[in-house]
């Protein structure tokens, strides 16, 4: 069979078959992360964050962000923390959370001992924090 002998419909059918053969199923790692991120996005109380920011006159780029802005930034940070944990920070011990944070949000990601999948995600909105330690 020569491609030159195929008509337009046959070429389309061939292209569809090739595309289908090349399709890779979504890696399980991303499927699990999607489930965790959806759970966080469905249950995190963005309206409380919005109320706190409004009460504190907290601005992003000169404006109080909308709830949709808050949701978009939170999801971006969650994906970023997860990808960083398995990417740039893969050499960090698996018990250590990798944090992506900005604008009050803090997203943390933990991986399994084999450092092959994300096993935990956390999203927080931090208004104030303090930490102290003593070096031994």
- Residue 130 included in any domain: no
pLDDT tens for 42-68 read: 999 999 999 999 999 999 999 989 999
- Residue 9 included in any domain: no
pLDDT tens for 76-130 read: 999 999 989 888 888 888 888 999 999 999 999 999 888 888 999 999 999 999 9
Rounded mean pLDDT of the chain?
87
| Nearest to 85, CA basis, from 118, 36, 39 | 118
- Residue 116 included in any domain: yes
Give the range of the structural domain holding residue 35, as residue numbers without chain letter.
27-125
Q: How many domains, in total, are found in the chain?
A: 1
Residue 6: predicted pLDDT = 72
Residue 41: predicted pLDDT = 97
- Residue 81 included in any domain: yes
- Residue 41 included in any domain: yes
Kindly compute the dihedral angle of the four CA atoms of residues 54, 55, 60, 61, in this order, to the nearest 10 degrees.
90
Distance from C-alpha of 9 to C-alpha of 12, rounded to nearest angstrom: 5
Residue 32: predicted pLDDT = 84
- Residue 2 included in any domain: no
């Amino acid at each position: 069979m020569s491609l030159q002998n195929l008509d337009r419909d046959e070429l389309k059918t061939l292209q569809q078959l090739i595309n289908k053969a090349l399709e890779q199923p979504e890696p399980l790692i991303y499927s699990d992360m999607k489930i965790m991120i959806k759970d966080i996005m469905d249950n995190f109380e963005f309206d409380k964050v919005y109320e706190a920011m409004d009460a504190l006159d907290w601005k992003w780029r000169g404006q109080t962000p909308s709830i949709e802005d808050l949701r978009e930034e939170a999801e971006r940070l969650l994906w970023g923390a997860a990808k960083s944990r398995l990417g740039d920070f893969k050499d960090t011990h698996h018990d250590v959370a990798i944090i992506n944070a900005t604008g009050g949000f803090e997203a943390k990601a933990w991986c399994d001992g084999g450092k092959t999948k994300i096993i935990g995600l956390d999203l927080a909105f931090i208004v104030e924090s303090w930490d102290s330690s003593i070096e031994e």
